[in-house]
Structure 1
Amino acid sequence: MAYLHTLGMALLVAILAIASPPARAQTTAYAAGQGAINSIEVGVEVRASVLGRCGFASGGAPSGTIDQADFDRNGFTRDFAIQLDCTGASRIAVTSQNGGMASAAAGGSGYQAKAPYRVALYMVADNGTNSSSSCDASSLSAGGSCAFAGTASSSTGLRLAGAATKANGSYLRVSAPAYAGADTLVAGRYADTLSITVSVSP
């Protein structure tokens, strides 16, 4: 009897083993400090872009006036600070309304009603690279030959290779020595207006 009892128990174990479903992988998520540590790896792709922008920073456009008495004897020089807000390379260009310091008074034989002066640009990028050039105001009028004459575009103007978003010491300078022309400057008020534009550059 003992033999048959043992055999019966073995058959019961075998039947239970056959009826049991196959084991599954552990999927239980345990709270911190309980059970095995579960690690699930997923991939999340994140993409973004920054559109290029280029212009003068708030309050960063060169502005102001210079009013020098007896500039024919004393000359003049003044710097106007520039701060750009460009996230990449840029170009800056300048045009002169009169192509020199012009007087409303008419000239005549032996007299001149327009005085020459120079315009210089010195531009500095955030990474320290810089670009500079200078020209006579006469070459900044329409169709002028100056390298930064005209309206700034992707191909026109003095090119600054790096981004510029800080006050880096960039400036526009106007200057003239004492007048040394052959003709005497006619008495009166002299003036010129410079227009400065900036553009993104490839």
Structure 2
Amino acid sequence: MIRSRVFLLMLVVAFLAVVQPARAQVTAYAAGQGAVNSIDVSVEVRASVRSRCGFAAGGAPAGSIDQADFDQSGFTRDFAIQLNCTGASRIAVSSVNGGMTTATAGATGYATKAPYQVDLKMVADNGTSSTANCQAATLSSGGSCTFAGTAGSSTGLRLGGASTRANGSYLRVSAPAYSGASPLVAGRYTDTLTVTVSVAP
């Protein structure tokens, strides 16, 4: 009888141990494991690059013409231009004398200035181009040529696109055989052209 009671008591204790409520479980995650809370952050970055414009290294038109008897044969020569402009540009030309002139004193019935023509062709990197031509007489101070004077935001032949390569741009000076009413006095004839370039809006 005593043995039965002891055995029964042991069963009750064992049962109570089994039916005890489970404890709350805590799981620890190592760094980089488990659920991660994320926050979306939007950052807007703005910057700008100012347009630059000028002649590329060695790209400014330079040189001279020395044509004997140009009054009879005329002349023509192209001077290559290469720009370094990251956007639209304007190029302008001015003439010191407004024509080919000589320091030789003129005699009665003889002329001391010969006309000639200036052509500009500017080509952008995207293949678009701008062209114009004017008489040298319209390139002197106050001249009426579309690209006369010093290049500026509204002065000069406008090229709408960037030009940073050798695209075939040039300045051409030319004249046919002289046909003025008065013959040219003998002597050396000269003129100087100044070419400028600027950023265009």
> Normalization by structure 1: what TM-score?
0.86
Taking a change above 3 Å as real, the CA distance of residues 190 and 27 of structure 1, as seen in their structure-2 partners, is farther
Deviations 1:77-129 (A, max 9, x none): 00000000000000000000000000001223311000000000000000000
2:15 to 6, 28, 45: 6
Equivalent residue number for residue 55 of structure 1: 54
Q: Distance between the aligned counterparts of 2:30 and 2:166, measured in 1? A: 58
Q: CA deviation at 1:7?
A: 2.4
Distance 1:139 1:6 in 2: 117
- Aligned partner of 1:82 in structure 2 is 81
* Residues 1:193 and 2:196 are matched in the alignment: no
Q: Give the stretch that moved more between structures: 41-50 or 77-86.
A: 41-50
Q: CA RMSD in A?
A: 2.4
**Aligned equivalents of 1:151 and 1:167: distance in 2?**
23
In structure 2, distance between residues paired with 1:175 and 1:12? 108
The change in CA–CA distance for 1:136 and 1:46 in structure 2 (over 3 A counts) is same
Whole-Å Cα distance in 2 between the matches of residues 27 and 91 of structure 1? 66
Cα gap change, 1:39/1:174 in structure 2, threshold over 3 Å: closer, same or farther?
Answer: farther
Match of 1:92 in 2: 91
Q: Deviations over 1:60-85 (max 9, x none)?
A: 00000000000000000000000000
Q: Deviations over 1:7-65 (max 9, x none)?
A: 2343362xx32xx55x67x56326xxxxx8x8978766554432210000000000000
Distance in 2 of aligned mates of 1:176 and 1:111: 19
Please name the residue that 1:117 is paired with: 116
Deviation at 1:6, TM superposition (A): 2.3
Aligned twin of 1:33: none
Aligned equivalents of 1:182, 1:10: Cα separation in 2:
130
Q: Do structure 1's residue 181 and structure 2's residue 184 form an aligned pair?
A: no
Q: Which amino acid aligns with 1:140?
A: L
Work out which of the two has the higher radius of gyration on C-alpha atoms and give 1 or 2.
2
- Matched residues, number: 191
Q: Distance in 2 between matches of 1:50 and 1:179?
A: 50
Q: 1:149 to 1:29 in 2, by over 3 A?
A: same
SS in 2 for 1:185: coil
Name the aligned partner's letter for residue 98 of structure 1: N
- Report sequence identity in percent: 64
The normalised TM-score by structure 2 is: 0.86
Helix, strand or coil for the counterpart of 1:6?
Answer: helix
Letter in 2 for 1:179: Y
* 1:5 to partner: Cα distance: 2.5
Letter in 1 for 2:172: R
